């Protein structure tokens, strides 16, 4: 079964850091772009970051310079290191598999990040 | 960045109704447009990719079409399970962007 499971969410103070992890299973992880999408409570979906199989990384303007995406193909996992966190980063963060030409076909269940003092 | 303008933001409909949701891109996205359905507390689910291709397992009452930079999601006969929020998503280029969402509620 194809599955993605996030971990690492929690409560952090403004200016703090948090590292999200996503463990994938059921497919050849190294062949796919992997993506983070977030959703604030009662709001729409926001694309955050993506990493290609070769390691090329992409970021939204709202997180560029503060967040870093990485992957570890040997562990079928990828990560989002979030620094200098702000209240507006509070959201559910989903890890997602992207198929070129196909969109986002597999989503994790989401992990909650709350930035508050 | 490519902007995706989705309308309406809320739609009230009855079971059996034909429902149409539109999304317009601020520039060409070469048909790289997907539609997702999201229910409260759940992750989004892919319905349509490449503007008009139906994802495996998705009922045939869902369809997508395009005209230039305009895209449409149609539900031919609304079912009770279809009351949810729908999002369009362009994946032509990074940064990817989503439409603001359309909540389909019971009339």
| pLDDT tens for each residue of B40-82 | 999 999 999 999 999 999 999 999 999 999 999 999 999 999 9
Letter string b/e over residues A68-97, b meaning 16 or more CB atoms within 10 A of that residue's CB: bbebeeeebbbbbebeebeeebbbbbbbbb
Question: What proportion of chain A, given as a percentage, has pLDDT over 70?
Answer: 100
pLDDT grade for B107, boundaries at 50, 70 and 90: confident
Report the candidate in B34, B23, B12, B22 with the shortest Cα–Cα distance to residue B83.
B12
Contact B97 A47 (CB under 8 A): yes
How far apart are the CA of A74 and the nearest CA of chain B, in angstroms?
26
Chain A contacts of B1, Cβ < 8 Å? Answer: 61
Name every residue in B having a CB less than 8 A away from some CB of A. Answer: 1, 32, 34, 36, 38, 43-46, 49-50, 55, 87, 89, 91, 94-101
A1-46 confidence digits (pLDDT tens): 999 999 999 999 999 999 999 999 999 999 999 999 999 999 999 9
């Amino acid at each position: 079964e194809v599955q993605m499971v996030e971990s690492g969410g929690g409560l952090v103070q403004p200016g703090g850091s948090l590292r999200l992890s996503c463990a994938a299973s059921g497919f050849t992880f190294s062949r796919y772009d992997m993506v983070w999408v977030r959703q604030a409570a009662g709001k729409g979906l926001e694309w955050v970051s993506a990493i290609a199989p070769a390691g090329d990384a992409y970021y939204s303007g709202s997180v560029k310079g503060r967040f870093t995406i990485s992957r570890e193909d040997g562990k079928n996992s990828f990560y989002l290191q979030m620094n200098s966190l702000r209240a507006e980063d509070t959201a559910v963060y989903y890890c997602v598999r992207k198929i070129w030409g196909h969109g986002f076909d597999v989503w994790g269940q989401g992990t909650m990040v709350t930035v508050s003092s | 960045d490519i902007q995706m303008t989705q309308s309406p933001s809320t739609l009230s409909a009855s079971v059996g109704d034909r429902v149409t949701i539109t999304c317009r891109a601020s520039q060409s996205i070469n048909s790289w447009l997907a539609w997702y359905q999201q229910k409260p507390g759940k992750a989004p689910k892919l319905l349509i990719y490449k503007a008009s291709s139906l994802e495996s397992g998705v009922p045939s009452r869902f369809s997508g079409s395009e005209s230039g930079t305009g895209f449409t999601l149609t539900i031919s006969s609304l079912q009770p399970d279809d009351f949810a929020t729908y999002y369009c998503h362009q994946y032509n280029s990074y940064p990817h962007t989503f439409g603001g969402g359309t909540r389909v509620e019971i009339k």
